[in-house]
Amino acid sequence: MKNLLVGAYVFSWTIWNITDVILFLLSNNYEKIEIIKGSRFEVQNDFLVPLIISIVYLVVVPMLNMLYERIVDDIINKYRNAFKQKTLQDHYYSVKRTTIAKLDSDEDENRKLRDRQLDTWAEEKQKMSEIIIKYMSEYAAKWQK
């Protein structure tokens, strides 16, 4: 059905008169004819109550949905987003601490390597100086000849 009011009205009427509808559907043909002959139009049961249910369904239910969405968007999502933000901050703070620890570890390792190199530096300098002096004396002796 293209008209929402008609569809809602038919649905409401069916729900409101469900016992009569089920009784009609489960009866044989003779009983169906008797039910139709004995039926009377009642303004309240056949028109007003289904119309009120239809209007409630078409007007009040969407308003309740909008109220629900507003509550979810304004209140619940506010706390949900704050929780997500806090979780992300904690995560990145942990990553930052891990990175700093790695850098500190690398810095300590570099410092230890430098200290080891400085320990042998004096000996290496002495050896290099001796080699240079040896070569200089050899070349000086060759140049003098």
One-character DSSP codes across 60-97: IHHHHHHHHHHHIIIIIHHHHHHHHHHHHHHHHHHHHH
Residue type, 38: G
pTM score: 0.47
Per residue in 28-63, pLDDT tens? 999 999 888 888 888 888 899 999 999 999 999 999
Burial class (CB in 10 A: 0-12, 13-18, 19+), 12: buried
Return the half-sphere exposure (C-beta side, CA atoms, 13 A cut-off) of residue 103. Answer: 6
Q: Taking 90 as the threshold, does the pLDDT of residue 72 lie above it?
A: no
pLDDT of res. 63 = 94
Per residue in 76-93, pLDDT tens? 888 889 899 999 999 999
